[in-house]
Each structure stands twice: as C-alpha cells, then as structure tokens.
Amino acid sequence: MESVSHENRLFAPTSEFAQKAAVSGMDAYRAMYEKSIQDPEGFWAEAAEELHWFKKWDTVLDDSNAPFFKWYDGSRTNLSYNCLDRHVAEGRGDKVAIHWEGEPGDTRDLTYSQMLLEVSRFANVLKARGVSKGDRIAIYLPMVPELAIAVLACARIGAVHSVIFAGFSADSIRDRVLDSETCMVITADGGYRRGKMLELKKIVDEGVETCACVKDVIVVKRGEDHPVDCSMVAGRDSWYHDLVADVSDECPAEEMEAEDLLFLLYTSGTTGKPKGIMHTTAGYQVFSYLTSKYVFDLKQEDVYWCTADVGWITGHTYIVYGIMQNGVTQVMYEGAPNHPDEGRFWEIVEKYKVSIFYTAPTAIRAFMKWGDQWVDGRDLSSLRLLGTVGEPINPEAWMWYHSKIGGERCPIVDTWWQTETGGHMLTPIPGAVPTKPGCATLPFFGVEPAILTDDAKEVDAGILAIKKPWPGMLRGIYGDPQRFKDTYWCKWDGQYYFPGDGARRDEDGYIWILGRVDDVVNVSGHRIGTAELESVFVEHKDVAESAVVGVPHEIKGQGLIAFVTVIDGRDHDDHLRKELVTMIDKGIGKFARPERILFSSDLPKTRSGKIMRRLLRDIAEGKELGNTTTLADPSVVEELQQQYLNG
Ligand code: WTA
C-alpha cells in the first residue's frame, strides 16, 4: 500500500489505440457514463437490444422488493443461444471460438459451429440422463474444451452449473455438492499440471462417497497418453465419449425466464462455510456481454486470452459467457505458466498472435522474478491490450507489465470486481481513461461507487460501496436469503451494496482499492476466508484454538500465517505442523496452505475474550506492536513475537 499512495504517474492511451477504440477519449466516456447513471433503464435496454431474445422484457429494472432486484422481467432468452447459435445464424460459424492448448502441447481448434454441435450433443446427453431445468450439476474439470462445453450445455437446457475449481479437495466438493444437492458431477480422469497428472476422478469419488443426491458421474478421458487409474462405479459412472456418441446433434435452446438461476459459484466469506453465489439469466447475460465489449474493446479480428481457470468467476464471465457472446476467437490453455519452462505464456502469445491478454498480478510478479530472458526474443507485437484482475497490482509489477509485455503501447485495464458483481465494476475503459499504475480508476457504465465511513458519510478514504443496482449483481446466496441480506445489504441499511473492500479516491476522482476490510484474504488472487482454515485446524484433537491472518507476500500478494494453540500437555512440533498442513490440503485444497504455522500457549485476547487479530498481523508483518494494554495477558504476544522472529 505504501508505494500506491505515492503513485501519480499518468499514462494516456496512445492515439493509435484511441482512434480505433469503441469509446475514444474521456469526453465520450463521460457522456456515456452520465447517460448510464441518469437513465439506467434506457442505457441497459439499449445494451440488451444487441442480443437475442425469444421475448423482450416488460420492465428493465424491478426494485420493488430490494435487495431482491429483478432485471429484464418478463423476457425470455438463453445464454448458450447468444454465445453460439447467434453467431452461426449470422454467418460467423466457421470462425474459431477456441484455440485450445493442453499442457503437454496437444491442441484442438473449435469453431463456433463445432462448439454449437458439441454443446447440443452434450445437452442431449444431460436430458437423456433425466436432467431438467433447475437441476444443479457440479463440474470439476481441468481446463479442457469440455469444461466450456459442459457449462454451455447446462445453460442450454436450464440446468444450474456449479463449477468447482479443480484444485479444491474432496471435502470441498462434498460440502458444495450437499449444499446445493447436485444430482450429477462432470469430471475427468485427470488433468495436467506441471507435467504431472492430477487424478481428479479419485478426488471426486472420495468427495461424493457419502452424497446420496449424486446419481450420475460423467468422466471425460484426458489421460490417453498417461493412463490414469480410474475405476468406474457401476450404475453411477459413465464415460463422456461413450455418451455423446449416441445422441442427436440438435438441441434447441430452452427459453429461460429472466430470473431463472443460471449458475452457482461458491466463494469464501467471513465464516467457515463458503457461500453459493447465485447468478441469474438475463441481467448476467447483458452485463457479461457489455463489460467484455467495452473493457476489452473487442474487435472481430482479436485473439483474446484470459489465463484464469473457469473454476473462478473470471473464467465464467471472461472466458465463457462474456467473450463468447461477443463472438471473438480466444485461446484456452490447460496448464501451468512455467511448464515446460518459464517462457510458456509468451510462446503461446507469439504462436496464436494474441492481441488481448488478461491475467492476475500474482502471475506478473512471478514472471518478473523468473527474469526477462523468458520474454526477450519473443515476438509480442500482436498484443494491443493488457488486463489484470483478482487483487491489487503493485506499481512495480504494473510498470514491468506495461514496458516489458506491453511494449509501452498497450493500455492496461486493472479491473476491480467480484464473484458477486458478476463482471467488471471499476476499470479504465481503454482508449478513453488514462491509467495510473496500481489503480482501478473509474466505474464502468451504470455503476455508481461511493466511499463511506461506517455510518455512511462520504469520505476520501474508507469503505467501498455501490449505490445503484446493476444487471450482473448476485441475486442471493443459495438456500440462505438472510445471509445474503446480512452480508451485502445491512451495513448501510439497504442503501448500498457492501463489497468488503477498502478504497481511496484521489484528486482526479480515481478510485484505488486498498484490500479487504474483512477476514477474507487474497492469496495469488484466490479468495480464502481465514475462518475456513481455522475451522479445519480446530478439528485436530490436539488443537484448542487458532487464528489465521493475511500478510503481504512478494509473489502471492498475500500469504496466510496461522497461529495455533495446542491443548495443554500435547506436543507441538513439526509432526503436528505436517498433520495440520495435510488437513488443509484435505479440507480446502493445497492452494490454501499457510506460509507458516506458529504454536503458542494462548492467543492475544481482550479481557472480554476477543482475539486481537490486529496484533497477530503486526507480529506476522514484523511490525512494532500496537497498543497491548487492553490485553488480558500481554506476555502472550511477546512469546509469539519471539517465536516469529526466531523463524
Ligand atoms: C479483490 C475476482 C484490487 C477484491 C474477480 C475483491 C481486486 C476480491 C481487484 C474478489 C483489483 C479483485 N484490484 N483488488 N483489480 N480485483 N480484487 O470474488 O478484494 O475471487 O473483493 O473475484 O478480489 O475476489 P473474487
């Protein structure tokens, strides 16, 4: 944060970029933004006109039952239709939708017509297995085309997909499957990561063992060259390739109501239980379409590449729905950025002549660390626009991205948004808004941000709030409307949406995101609730209590430090540490492993027994300790601090 508050370099878009941009210049941006705020319904109706509707809406926004907003009520549409059929009908069927590249180097190109065919076939498989509108389906796949196909096949027939990132553990699968009572899981025998095969089907088997709701498991075969030991459960499991061999190529898209549930995506909050974020059809459709169009300034000749996984919201909106509705060609890559070597991404950019590249700051920091030799000598001249997402980007990484990857000619869109917002909320519009390193700048059309105190006073630095509803907003938390209201709408009496981030507005009116104000930590752009780790630790028989905090990390943005108190008389040593790490791997996934686990006889608490996380953060950041006079037992922090310093 230090370097951010002194940053005032300004980068105007090049005239070459601005001339061709959909929004060329600040005046055009301001005019469009004003219109979107003065007449949001007019603005969002006009945007929706660009898409296909079986029936148009009666009202654009219905806010009569806030915060349960309705968008485009009365309309009927289908996301898969707008991603596929529309392009085929308008003569773009032969255009490549996906250039797919597997980690070992195998490739597949799928045109929009081929995608339509594959999606229709798989949708017919789902129907033949008895899946109907509203049924929940879990998808646990590596980054293979079948992931996008499965997602769109669900949307085509109105089944609700719940994609689970293929780095989550068996326990996480079980919790998500049970919470939404999914009837089917779509997975693969395995997926490649850093040259190894992750055995995904085995993890699914363990996860759904006790889930009576799961009647069907469909398995994509990925391991042709490296056969995976994949046992099939009779009566429950089938191979994807067997099922699609037997069905028709035609499957008309179901006419969905505007507020029909499109998908669930589980994300971390401040409790141990992840929330099933609900996104519905029409509003998400228009928002994902329009943000993609303007934020990436998409042109028909672009080759777009987003390096995120479809297991996170970024992949939902900016690989599948938003990008495919715009009908552009994209690259989809299965594996790690450093396999077989640290130059893989730049090799892919060169090979496919990628023009728009969207990644996470943590990846950029890793590239910086690996050294310029992996970039030098690669032809990156096809690039015209760069983007970042998922966490604040430090100005140093921004400058490296700008000069080394962007050749100082590509605008960088630093996009702030969340699983809950469905799409971009704060971001420069390229070609229009001059950028500053590390700054998400200004709102997207129709988005009205405010920076508030706890009691809703507008300030320059405080808590970020969103004033108006927007079409891509979440519609609820699955099965828990009260938690939806409490988490997002109670902070300022229902007047604003509360995203959970801190922010500051500078003298140009630009907004800088300062990180989370709650107990959610962003590790390598992955959102993790500290309470999730804590609830895993306390399941160990020797653990009395624990507190986990986030600290700055050079590459990951933030890392996790765990403080664990052990029941009196029990051993606390490396053996216990290993057991606890294994429990995190099993309870959440390897990506949630803490950097360090510290043991102590107690945690710093106030006299009323509340754990003082601020002090734990001070210890973990090696800072001088703040006020300790309110502690019940000040010696506890000293002990912890000593231990921390001793490594
Ligand atoms: C953080 C990812 C700063 C933020 C799309 C938010 C960011 C959380 C940015 C959502 C950004 C995302 N600058 N912080 N450009 N983008 N964040 O749900 O704290 O995985 O609340 O969605 O990531 O994470 P989520």
pLDDT on residue 497: 98
Q: How confident is the model at residue 480 (pLDDT cuts 50, 70, 90)?
A: very high
- Best mutation site among 268, 419, 513 for ligand 1 pocket (most ligand atoms within 8 Å of CB): 513
Nearest CA to ligand 1 atom 14: 391
Q: Name the nearest CA neighbour of 294 among 519, 488, 29.
A: 29
pLDDT on residue 636: 86
- Mean pLDDT computed over 599-615: 89
Half-sphere exposure of 38 (CA within 13 A, CB side): 6
Q: Where are the alpha helices (DSSP H) in 39-139?
A: 40-48, 79-80, 86-89, 112-128
Asked whether the beta carbons of 407 and 380 are under 8 A apart, the reply is yes
Residue pLDDT, tens place only, 324-370: 999 999 999 999 999 999 999 999 999 999 999 999 999 999 999 99
- Mean pLDDT computed over 603-613: 90
180 Cα: distance to centroid of ligand 1 (angstroms): 25
Q: How confident is the model at residue 622 (pLDDT cuts 50, 70, 90)?
A: confident
User: Which domains, ranges and CATH numbers included, belong to the chain?
Assistant: 524-646 (3.30.300.30)
Q: Which atom of ligand 1 is nearest to the CA of 393?
A: 13
Q: Is the pLDDT assigned to residue 21 strictly greater than 90?
A: yes
- Best mutation site among 4, 417, 436 for ligand 1 pocket (most ligand atoms within 8 Å of CB): 417
Q: Give the chain's mean pLDDT.
A: 96
Q: Is the pLDDT assigned to residue 1 strictly greater than 60?
A: no
pLDDT on residue 421: 98
Q: Which atom of ligand 1 is nearest to the CA of 440?
A: 15
10 Cα: distance to centroid of ligand 1 (angstroms): 23
Minimum mean pLDDT among 102-116, 309-323, 568-582: which range? Answer: 568-582
Residue pLDDT, tens place only, 553-572: 999 999 999 999 999 888 88
Q: Is the pLDDT assigned to residue 3 strictly greater than 80?
A: no
pLDDT on residue 570: 86
Nearest CA to ligand 1 atom 24: 418
Cα–Cα dist 241/306, whole Å: 27
416 Cα: distance to centroid of ligand 1 (angstroms): 6
Q: Is the pLDDT assigned to residue 45 strictly greater than 60?
A: yes
Report if pTM > 0.95.
yes
pLDDT on residue 6: 65
Q: Is the pLDDT assigned to residue 464 strictly greater than 70?
A: yes
Minimum mean pLDDT among 24-38, 404-418, 534-548, 624-638: which range? Answer: 624-638
What are the Cα distances from residue 399, in Å, to 261, 383, 402, 503, 589?
A: 41, 16, 5, 21, 32
Structure tokens at 580: 């606890």
Name 565's bridge partners: 545, 600
Q: List phi, psi (to 5°) of 16.
A: -60, -45
Q: Which atom of ligand 1 is nearest to the CA of 513?
A: 3
Asked whether the beta carbons of 260 and 392 are under 8 A apart, the reply is no
Cα–Cα dist 232/219, whole Å: 9
40 Cα: distance to centroid of ligand 1 (angstroms): 25
- Best mutation site among 391, 473, 591 for ligand 1 pocket (most ligand atoms within 8 Å of CB): 391
- Best mutation site among 359, 398, 418, 520 for ligand 1 pocket (most ligand atoms within 8 Å of CB): 418
Nearest CA to ligand 1 atom 15: 416
Q: Is the pLDDT assigned to residue 2 strictly greater than 50?
A: no
- Mean pLDDT computed over 462-474: 97
Q: Is the pLDDT assigned to residue 498 strictly greater than 60?
A: yes
Ligand 1 lining (C-beta closer than 6 Å): 267, 312-314, 389-392, 414-419, 440, 499-501, 513, 516, 522, 527
Q: Name the nearest CA neighbour of 318 among 141, 328, 443.
A: 328
Nearest CA to ligand 1 atom 11: 416
- Best mutation site among 501, 504, 519, 526 for ligand 1 pocket (most ligand atoms within 8 Å of CB): 501
Residue pLDDT, tens place only, 171-215: 999 999 999 999 999 999 999 999 999 999 999 999 999 999 999
Q: Is the pLDDT assigned to residue 5 strictly greater than 80?
A: no
Question: DSSP assignment, residue 374?
Answer: G
- Mean pLDDT computed over 487-509: 97
429 Cα: distance to centroid of ligand 1 (angstroms): 18
